[in-house]
Amino acid sequence: EGADWTETRVGTNAIGTALAEAAPVELLAGEHFEQGQHPWYCTASPVHDPRTGDLLGVIDVSGPALTLHPAIGALVETGRRLAESELWRHHQQGLDRLRRTAEPVVAGAGGPALLVDDDGWVAHSAGIVPGARIAAPVEGRILAVPGLGACLPERLTEGWLVRPADTARRVRLDLELGHAPLLRMRSGDVGWVRTVTPRHAGILVQLRTAGPAGLSAEALSRALYGDAEHLVTVRAEVSRLRRLLGAIVDTRPYRLAAGVDLSVHKGLEVGG
């Protein structure tokens, strides 16, 4: 850890040159820039992220030049392929998990839609035959998707629902306050129910009261606790709430997302 084998630091060497060229490199003895490495052979192959193509690192085998075996190159290349195939397998498992958890949302979207991960890899589709990948979704930014046209990505608990912007629906929330507050959500034809903690219910009530202007962490702390001494707690609670509800709650400042209509029932006092 801390060693620097970049070309700019030590000149031509298998690790640094493989990083610079993003290609396999084999150097023997005097092919190294540094004289101190002349007794060495070095064989390196760069590892790329199979999802993004990003250069992740290098697998390198180095040793005394006289011990160079003809199979070293194949060994390094095999290691590189194993690493990348393992990364790809992990990626596929992530898409499978996403498909299992969010498929009902796509199925009930009532029109063409895609379920994609944070990098735009398609886990599931309805009403369209997509490629393997679309542009990475960004909150609130229109995406051009072949076959779907302009789409507005919608954050789910995991992944994104992508469908034509003009069909993005309003989200209706019915919050039933009580011992175990219940949140009923409905977006278009899709509905689901979640229990939320009293504190989270309190946050939702305060955000609804604040309206589109929203609340800073300090203001939300004052609203919930009566003082501004609970900023860290407020951030943590909103973070958990957003993990539970996704893009229902926006930040900077904290507020209900555009298109979210929250109604509160039973009228019990909760969370300040």
Partner DNA sequence: ATAAACTCTGGAGTTCGCGA
Partner DNA sequence: TCGCGAACTCCAGAGTTTAT
- Of 74 and 236, which has the nearer Cβ to DNA? 236
Q: How far is the CB of 270 from DNA (least distance, A)?
A: 8
Q: How far is the CB of 188 from DNA (least distance, A)?
A: 25
- The alpha carbons of the chain give a radius of gyration, in whole angstroms, of 26
Q: How far is the CB of 199 from DNA (least distance, A)?
A: 4
- Of 7 and 218, which has the nearer Cβ to DNA? 218
Helix spans in 115-190 (H): none
Q: How far is the CB of 173 from DNA (least distance, A)?
A: 18
Which of 8-11's residues contact partners 24+ apart within 8 Å by CB, and which partners? 10/34, 10/37
Q: In this structure, are residues 118 and 132 in contact, taking their beta carbons and an 8 Å threshold? A: no
Q: How are the residues of the chain apportioned to helix, strand and coil, as percentages rounded to the nearest 5? A: 40, 30, 35
Q: In this structure, are residues 144 and 137 in contact, taking their beta carbons and an 8 Å threshold? A: no
Q: How far is the CB of 7 from DNA (least distance, A)?
A: 17
- Of 32 and 199, which has the nearer Cβ to DNA? 199
| CB-count exposure of residue 42 (10 Å: 0-12, 13-18, 19+) | buried
Q: Which two tokens stand for residue 163?
A: 């469908």
Q: How far is the CB of 235 from DNA (least distance, A)?
A: 4
Report how far residue 259's alpha carbon sits from residue 106's, in angstroms, rounded to the nearest whole number: 19
- Of 61 and 241, which has the nearer Cβ to DNA? 241
- Of 26 and 237, which has the nearer Cβ to DNA? 237
| DSSP-derived secondary structure letter, 204 | H
- Of 169 and 235, which has the nearer Cβ to DNA? 235
Strand partners, 187: 171, 190
Helix spans in the chain (H): 7-10, 14-21, 72-107, 198-210, 217-225, 231-245
Amino acid occupying residue 223: A
- Of 193 and 231, which has the nearer Cβ to DNA? 231
Q: How far is the CB of 218 from DNA (least distance, A)?
A: 7
Q: How far is the CB of 39 from DNA (least distance, A)?
A: 35
- Of 29 and 136, which has the nearer Cβ to DNA? 136
> Which residues are at the interface with DNA (CB under 7 A)?
180, 195, 197-200, 216-218, 225, 229-233, 235-240, 242-243, 251-254
Q: In this structure, are residues 88 and 139 in contact, taking their beta carbons and an 8 Å threshold? A: no
Report how far residue 42's alpha carbon sits from residue 29's, in angstroms, rounded to the nearest whole number: 9
